[in-house]
Homo-oligomer: A and B are copies of this chain.
Amino acid sequence: MKKPAITQVSIDPTIAERWSGRAYDASKPITHQQTLALLEAARWAPSCMGDQPWRILVWNKGLDEKAWQQAFNCLVEGNQSWVKDAPFLCLICADTLFTKNSQPNRWAEYDSGAAALNLSLQASSMGLSAHQLGGFSVDKARSTFNIPEQFTLMAMISVGYLKDIGNVTGDLLVRETAPRSRREMGALFFDGAWDKPII
């Protein structure tokens, strides 16, 4: 199902066509090659001083179901109800310290958000759908996977193929077919002075 962004001027299709679907097709796995493409995209995101503060833990259900289940168990129930059909999960972590000098990196989360978006755009570009998830237990994920305190756990991401919309029912159908929306341009973007709408 296509849900391109509705824009006043044309934008790049890779950006316009990415959206966060939920109705995964559990029968279609993700290959290791696809995983590498998702991660290469994340790898080439920009970062302050080139530090690349993101670290990404990945779980491919088709290759290691037990590890995938451990990651899945960190999600809140509301997300588990539909993420159960996603063949791929990952966790985005942000290194709070610059590697070169161990000083605090105030762009760690900001840059990690960019890497996560590149991964999501690459998923969309390959016909997959990525959905970022804030609803997970940071404590459980940190203890389950022994993640050092130096790293801030930001988001999990589910990735998979979406089902044909004709096979989706109930609440999930309502959510999948809801129009995408964003704030007005002028509420987000200011022309040279704070709160002066760009249009």
**A interface with B by C-beta (< 8 Å):** 5, 7-12, 14-16, 18, 20, 33, 35-37, 39-46, 48-50, 52, 54-59, 64, 67-68, 94, 106-107, 109-114, 116-118, 120-122, 125, 132, 134, 145-148, 154-155, 180-183, 185, 188-194, 198-199
Highest count of chain B CB atoms <10 Å: which of A40, A50, A55: A40
Look across to chain B and name the residue whose beta carbon is closest to the beta carbon of A17.
Answer: B44
Q: Is the CB of B194 within 8 A of A121?
A: no
Instruction: Give the chain B neighbours of A107 by CB distance below 8 A.
Output: 109, 113, 134, 154-155
- Beyond A18-B46, A114-B116, 17 additional contacts (C-beta under 8 Å) are A7-B40, A7-B43, A9-B37, A12-B14, A12-B122, A12-B125, A15-B125, A42-B188, A52-B183, A55-B190, A64-B192, A67-B192, A110-B112, A110-B113, A110-B154, A113-B114, A145-B193
Distance in Å from the Cβ of A90 to the closest Cβ of chain B? 9
Q: What CA separation (Å) do A14 and B8 show in the bound complex?
A: 20
**Which B residues are in CB contact (< 8 Å) with A12?**
14, 41, 121-122, 125
